[in-house]
């Protein structure tokens, strides 16, 4: 059995893979105090053969995870790191190592799902829009604030709004909270659609659009662009990397 781990800004996700069988859908919020976090997630698992992880929370979390895996199983996690060229993909970032490992993993996973031009939209704390060319060059991307972050920034930076969250999303918001919710959701969805349109115009090619991340299910219904939901795209990219390492 192999353990795949996606360490995000706010959530820890993982999947188990054994003899080609995928067992996923596991997720938990990362608390400020992390005592017992790894025990609660994996304390009852049998020892994995390999552990492959993507980590965006820095060296401190990486060390904690590595120490726990060593103590629990005597297995050292393998952390995916972006490179100038790896897994058949060329990275066009000026400094390839500045690319987030989650974005790198998602591109690897997307390429396994489709040929041609691929665009990956990851809707998490931030929304990233990344493009992979038909000849496997990561051309670059764009970053927007995520839904929650955008709403919080508006409330913190604007006097007199003081709105709480609202479930209603309508172009006719009838409370301040509804107006904020509608503006953020439709605005970010419109931004994604505009970026996708500009990518199509620049490349003059059809593309496959994949949505992933915790807010993807909220964003997808608001998009005009045709898209496919892949909530575990980062983990699927880690599996592709594992098979190549």
- Domains in the chain (CATH in brackets) are 2-79 (3.30.420.40), 116-232 (3.30.420.40)
Residue 108 gets the label, from left (phi > 0), alpha (psi -120 to 50) or beta, of alpha
Based on the residue annotation, tell me whether 102 is a catalytic residue of this protein: yes
H or E, element range at 109: helix 101-113
* Mean of all residue pLDDT scores within the chain: 93
pLDDT mean over 64-91? 97
Hey, is 93 helix, strand or coil? coil
**Residue 138 in tokens:** 């990561």
CA angle 244, 58, 209 (to 5 degrees): 55
Which range among 39-43, 109-113, 205-209, 240-244 shows the weakest confidence by mean pLDDT?
Answer: 240-244
**Residue 104 in tokens:** 């790198």
Residues in the chain: 245
What 8-state DSSP symbol labels residue 97? G
Torsion, Cα of 216, 92, 94, 210 (10° steps):
0
Q: What is the pLDDT of residue 150?
A: 86
For the chain, give me the number of helices (H) and strands (E)?
7, 12
Name the catalytic one among 102, 122, 130, 215: 102
Q: Say how far apart CA 230 and CA 35 lie, in whole Å.
A: 31
Q: Say how far apart CA 15 and CA 12 lie, in whole Å.
A: 11
Higher-pLDDT residue of 244 and 13 is: 13
Q: What is the pLDDT of residue 126?
A: 94
Is 241 within 8 Å of 77 (Cβ atoms)? no
State if pTM tops 0.85: yes
Task: Kindly tell me if the per-residue pLDDT of 132 is higher than 80.
Answer: yes
Mark 61-98 as b/e (b = at least 16 C-beta within 10 Å): bbeebbebbeeebeeebebbebeeebbebbbebeebee
Task: Kindly tell me if the per-residue pLDDT of 236 is higher than 80.
Answer: yes
What backbone phi and psi angles, to 5 degrees, belong to 66?
-60, -45
């Amino acid at each position: 059995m192999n353990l795949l781990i996606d360490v995000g800004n706010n959530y820890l996700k993982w999947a188990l893979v054994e003899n080609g069988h995928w067992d996923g859908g596991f997720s938990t919020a990362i608390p400020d105090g992390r005592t017992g976090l790894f025990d609660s997630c994996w304390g009852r698992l049998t020892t994995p053969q390999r552990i492959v992880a993507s980590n965006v929370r820095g060296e401190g979390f990486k060390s904690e995870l590595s120490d726990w895996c060593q103590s629990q199983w005597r297995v050292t996690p393998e952390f995916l790191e972006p490179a100038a060229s790896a897994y058949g993909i060329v990275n066009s970032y000026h400094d390839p190592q500045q690319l987030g490992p989650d974005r790198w993993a998602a591109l690897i996973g997307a390429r396994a799902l489709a040929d041609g031009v691929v665009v990956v939209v990851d809707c998490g704390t931030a929304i990233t829009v990344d493009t992979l060319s038909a000849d496997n060059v990561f051309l670059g991307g764009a970053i927007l604030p995520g839904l929650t972050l955008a709403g919080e920034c508006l409330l913190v930076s604007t006097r007199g709004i003081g709105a709480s969250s609202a479930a209603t999303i309508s172009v006719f918001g009838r409370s301040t909270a509804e107006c904020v919710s509608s503006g953020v959701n439709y605005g970010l969805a419109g931004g994604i659609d505009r970026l996708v349109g500009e990518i199509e115009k620049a490349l003059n090619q059809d593309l496959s659009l994949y949505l992933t991340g915790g807010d993807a299910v909220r964003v997808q219904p608001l998009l005009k662009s045709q898209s496919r939901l892949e909530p575990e795209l980062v983990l699927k990219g880690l599996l592709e990397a594992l098979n190549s390492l």
